[in-house]
């Protein structure tokens, strides 16, 4: 399955968002996610299925004004 | 002074971006005595560690964070960013920015009001980055905002208070709403001027972070904000066109011929 993570194309096998984040190496990191422009809470990731062509955004804290 | 029921003693809110080093940022926060710092969020690849180390840094400070939606141009982007920020930083506070113009970073006030309404209904406590426009401010309050954050001048421009009259009118129209001047300040006298108008607080970033000595500048701003607030409470004189002798004329010795 091909999805876009932060604008870059990735081939992933897993079926859920939680599995994909684990496989990609985000496990245990302080991140927040949005799928196709919509927020997905951490608690909802295990039940969120991924589909071919999905656009996933993964963000972390950073400095801001 | 309180924002959404949270009592604060410092009237300076400090941004965390653009400092020469994390050490200088930490020292500047300490020198400013700020109790609230602004933060943001950005894409992070799995192998990157920047976000995680910044998160540890912020946790170590122990103060409150005010996440922003910097860079958002649409209501949908701002709302999704606010949701991600609420989860990441564990706070209902959000400094809501919906930007329209890339040259001036002027807010899209129509999108701002809509996003403020959506987020307020969802339980967020919104700090809307807006202009000094009274009609827009009224709409933001109607939408549920209990703090207003008008600009002094375009973000990072160091121009000071571009529209003194407009900011004064905003203060007069919303005596009960905490007002925070954010953006465009360059030197401590700009911050003092905002406080002398009766503004509740000032939010700064670039003016401190990009000063030659950010730590000293943070301290200078803190002093100016305290001076301005004390002056406001002391009820300043109104300006007048003609001189008014300060030394009494009565009883002056007659020394002419």
CA atoms within 13 A on the CB side of B60: 13
Shortest CB distance from B39 goes to which of A37, A38, A64? Answer: A64
Residues of B in contact with A64 (CB under 8 A): 15-17, 38-41, 67-68, 70
Region A45-58: what's the mean pLDDT? 96
pTM: 0.93
Per-residue pLDDT tens digits for B206-222: 999 999 999 999 999 99
Mode of pairing for the β-strands spanning B201-204 and B12-15: parallel
Highest mean pLDDT, choosing among A9-13, A24-28, B43-47, B223-227? B223-227
C-beta of residue B167 within 8 angstroms of C-beta of residue B174: no
Over 80: is that where the pLDDT of B88 sits? yes
List CB contacts (< 8 A) between B17 and chain A: 63-65
Cα–Cα separations (whole angstroms), residue B30 to A33, A61, B35, B99, B252: 32, 21, 9, 31, 53
B19 touches A at CB < 8 Å? yes
| Interface ipTM | 0.95
Q: Residue A5's pLDDT band (boundaries 50, 70, 90)?
A: very high
């Amino acid at each position: 399955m091909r999805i876009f993570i932060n604008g870059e194309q990735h081939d992933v096998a897993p079926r859920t968002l939680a599995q994909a984040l684990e496989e990609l190496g985000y496990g245990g990191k302080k991140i927040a996610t949005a799928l196709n422009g919509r927020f997905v809470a951490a608690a909802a990731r295990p039940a969120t299925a991924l589909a071919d062509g999905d656009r996933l955004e993964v963000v972390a804290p950073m400095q801001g004004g | 002074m309180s924002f959404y029921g949270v009592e604060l003693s410092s009237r300076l809110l400090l941004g965390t971006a653009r400092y020469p080093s994390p050490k200088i940022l930490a020292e500047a926060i300490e020198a400013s005595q700020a109790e609230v710092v602004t933060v943001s969020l950005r894409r992070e690849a799995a192998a990157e560690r920047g976000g995680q180390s910044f998160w540890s840094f912020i946790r170590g400070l122990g103060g409150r964070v005010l996440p922003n939606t910097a860079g958002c141009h649409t209501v949908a982007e701002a709302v999704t960013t606010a949701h991600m920020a609420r989860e990441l930083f564990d706070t209902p506070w959000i400094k809501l920015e919906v930007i329209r113009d890339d040259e001036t970073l002027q807010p899209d006030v129509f999108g701002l009001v809509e996003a403020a309404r959506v987020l307020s209904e969802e339980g967020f406590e919104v700090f809307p980055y807006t202009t000094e426009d009274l009609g827009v401010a009224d709409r933001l309050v109607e939408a549920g905002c209990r703090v207003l954050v008008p600009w002094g001048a375009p973000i990072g421009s160091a121009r000071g208070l571009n529209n003194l009259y407009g900011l004064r009118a905003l203060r007069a129209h919303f005596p009960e709403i905490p007002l925070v001047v954010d953006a465009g300040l360059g030197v401590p006298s700009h911050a003092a001027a905002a406080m002398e108008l009766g503004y509740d607080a000032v939010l700064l970033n670039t003016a401190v972070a990009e000063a030659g000595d950010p730590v000293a500048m943070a301290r200078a701003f803190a002093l100016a904000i305290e001076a301005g607030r004390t002056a406001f409470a002391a009820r300043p004189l109104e300006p007048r066109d003609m001189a008014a002798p300060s030394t009494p004329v009565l009883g002056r010795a007659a020394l002419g011929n």
